[in-house]
Amino acid sequence: MNSRTNGIIVAIDGPSGAGKSTIARLLAERLGYIQIDTGAMYRAAAFLLMTAEINLDDLAAVEVFCRDMDIQLDVVSGCQSVIANGMDVTHKIRTAEMSLLTSRTSTLKPVREALFKAQQQMGRRGGVVLEGRDIGTVVFPDAEIKFYLSASVEERARRRYEELTAKGEPVTLADTIADVIQRDRQDSERDIAPLRQADDAVLIDSSLLSVDEVLNLMVEMCRNKIGTAGSSL
């Protein structure tokens, strides 16, 4: 019996700043699906490890800590909140400092194992749009539809820079480009679940496309897939 009682699984992977979060949120809205921002879960885990002052070189300590870690994504009036061990960390996890720390903590096996389990639990019934780095390759290799959303380094850094300066963060464009390059390297060169396009993922380069153009393309492909999957769900 098929366990996808709520619909199909849509996987969106790609490097940081490619627009995954915006697209995943809008796509989930259009399909009436739930959005699962797995990057936010990795950020929340990094935040918890940092505030608990866990030594990241001590994998046994990281593992013990991750065993009891509780990370929830709540949607309140269309906005996603991230609750980590009962604390609302939605905004605290979005700084440039947290981005770099998360890129490091997300290479740790105990962190990935804990979040892998949580994500499988959250998504297995379907009706979800999951975005991250390893959704189509590791978390749900059997997702009904997979996208790999990318854009040039310059375009991704420009978007991130605008986002951070709008929040009043004192960053420069040159620093933001350097951060994007460093995070790309950390995300794609790590040993466990590196950032990689799944063989069966549809590649979309958003450098020269508007959000609406990307969205409409993805909505149409998802609807076709939901139509053909309908009878077997």
**Site residues for ligand DC per CB under 6 A:** 16, 38-40, 42-43, 102-103, 106, 132-134, 183, 187
Closest approach, Cβ 123 to ligand DC, in A, equals 12
Strand 87-88 to 79-84 pairing = antiparallel
Query: Residues with Cβ < 8 Å from 229, sequence gap 6 or more?
Result: 4, 8, 144
3-state secondary structure of 145: strand
Q: Which is nearer to ligand DC, 8 or 40 (CB)?
A: 40
Closest approach, Cβ 47 to ligand DC, in A, equals 11
| Phi, psi (deg, nearest 5) at residue 156 | -65, -40
Q: Which is nearer to ligand DC, 144 or 179 (CB)?
A: 179
Closest approach, Cβ 2 to ligand DC, in A, equals 24
Q: Which is nearer to ligand DC, 93 or 222 (CB)?
A: 93
Closest approach, Cβ 224 to ligand DC, in A, equals 26
| Phi, psi (deg, nearest 5) at residue 107 | -90, -10
Q: Which is nearer to ligand DC, 63 or 163 (CB)?
A: 163
Strands (E), the chain: 9-13, 34-37, 71-76, 79-84, 87-88, 128-132, 145-150, 202-205
Q: Which is nearer to ligand DC, 39 or 123 (CB)?
A: 39
Closest approach, Cβ 157 to ligand DC, in A, equals 13
Instruction: Compute the distance between CA of residue 87 and CA of residue 72 in angstroms, rounded to an integer.
Output: 10
